[in-house]
Chains A and B, each alone.
Chain A
Amino acid sequence: MIEGFINNLPMITILVHAAIPLTIILVYALVAIWGERKIAGFIQDRLGPMRVGGWHGWAQSIADLLKLIQKEDILPKDASRFLFRFAPFMMFAASYAAFAVIPFSSSYIGSNINIGVFYLLAVTSVLTLSVIMAGWASNNKWSLLGGMRSAAQMVSYEVPTIATVLTVIVVSGSLNLMTVTEMQSGNDILGFLPNWFIFQNPFLIVAFIIFFISILAESHRVPFDLPESESELVAGYQTEYSGMRWAMFMLAEYADMLLLSLLGAVLFFGGWNSPFGEFMGGPAWGFFWFMLKGLLLVFVMMWIRWTLPRYRVDQLMHICWSILIPLSFINLVLVALWEVIFN
């Protein structure tokens, strides 16, 4: 029995290794859902949740979770059973699988593969399919419309996302996110600024702005939340879902926000590198800085959600195809030229 245990040790190590991002996502989701409601409250000049748990309603998400567990798991009569049940799990699995290549600190990365960021983009493209799957399987016109919108939106915005990621790859010369982060160590720019890619090259600032707009659209956040716009499509592809299956969708959505924000932190803001060089460096501080950068981007996403109205479908497509895509390709060429001339 003990021998069997030891023989299975690699498997257990793999499991423990793989569970670390899951823990981070779950804790983050509890905090972020509460945080979003508080931020929404402050922006709209109210208090947000205040009662559960005492201090500023900190236990609100836990209470919500307990409530959701008790809810009935409703399956619509004419829904496609297997696909309806499967879609939320596939959606979460796709965003969770992508966390494998995110370097959380200088000593932890799920899988140090060489195609890192390319794998991330490939795996997250499965998210689109799970949204279509949920939308179609619900057998509801709102859901189907939401699914179709989502497919069009995510396929379109994948292009500027990939183009801007490519601009960073042109500068770094590696697809491995760990290598990309290590290249941004040190504080040499103008004598004090950290060597983050956003400071290295003026065109990379443009690339970051395009990247941020595209990830807003990819994670279905306002002003691009057309697939689930409450005021016209009820809740889009989530309309027929209830209880824990709906909670899985919310979890996947928040995980996706964190994933894309962390990707932005790696590509433009130095990942786990401390902004003060060696001061407050090391693996544990690295994790702190990395999460701080990621959560700041998540905060900006929430801030935008409660500030801006939603775009129309045609405006959404216009922004992507006529503005972001040409701009990102021109920017890619300019970044490459800058690299040839100055480095």
Chain B
Amino acid sequence: MELTTILFYLFSVTTLGAAAVMVFSRNIVHSAFALMFTLIGVAALYVLLYADFLAATQLLVYVGGILILILFGVMLTTQGHSFSFKINSVNLIPASVLSLATAVLLIFAFTSTEWTIAEVSERDDTVYELGMMLMGDYILPFIIAGVLLLIAIIGAIVMATRLTATSTEG
């Protein structure tokens, strides 16, 4: 077997296994750490597709940013170690119907689509082309996304300062 094929299966198994642990774990912090393995596995799969920039972005944004925020939230809201989910099955029938329908839909979409498998072309300069496209053809969506994030940040700051202001007054 080719080295890349072995690596592909290795990372796929890691991704899927960690995802399963994340869903079935009774401990919410264990779920969060399992999510980390899933995200790293997906990043490795991006590397195998020659999408190096995307892989590094995945690591930096999801693993280094969002996951840390999730862990912060989880650790501050629960009592850490002793907390575990109560696994009660609620809404058993609607949930199973919905998930079955989703599964059928996904399998149907997967089997009925004609997948064109592109030859993997080895390219070594994805960053330059990405930068050119973001500053050229896609400048408007790029700027709109930036403004949207800025609005979100300003909103968060306003909310946070209002909260601390009232708490110090009262």
Contacts and interface: CB of A to CB of B under 8 A. Distances in A.
Nearest to A138: B81
A119 B81 contact: no
A136 B56 contact: no
Nearest to B64: A125
Contact of A83 (B30, B59, B64): B30
B124 interface: yes
A10 interface: yes
Interface string A75-98: 000101001000000000000000
Nearest to B59: A122
Nearest to A151: B68
Interface stretch (A55-63, A110-118, A294-302, A304-312): A110-118
Contacts of A209: none
Interface string B124-137: 11110000000000
Given A10-B3, A114-B127, A136-B29, A125 B75 contact: no
A260 to B, nearest CB: 15
B22 interface: no
A133 B33 CA distance: 8
Nearest to A120: B56
B75 A148 contact: yes
Interface residues of A, number: 27
Contact of A136 (B36, B59, B80): B80
A63 B71 CA distance: 39
Interface residues of B, number: 27
A122 to B, nearest CB: 4
A129 B60 CA distance: 12
B75 A115 contact: no
A148 B67 contact: no
Interface residues of B: mostly helix, strand, loop or mixed?
helix
Interface in B21-71: 27, 29-30, 33, 36, 40, 52-53, 56-57, 59-60, 63-65, 67-68, 71
Contacts of A175: 127
Interface of B: 3, 27, 29-30, 33, 36, 40, 52-53, 56-57, 59-60, 63-65, 67-68, 71-72, 75, 80-81, 124-127
Interface of A: 10-11, 78, 80, 83, 113-115, 118-119, 121-123, 125-126, 128-129, 132-133, 136, 139, 144, 148, 151, 155, 158, 175
A132 B64 contact: no
Given A126-B59, A129-B36, A136-B29, A115 B80 contact: no
A139 B63 contact: no
Contact of A126 (B3, B52, B63, B124): B63
A63 to B, nearest CB: 36
A128 B68 contact: yes
Given A83-B30, A115-B127, A151 B72 contact: yes
Contacts of A129: 33, 36, 63-64, 67-68, 71
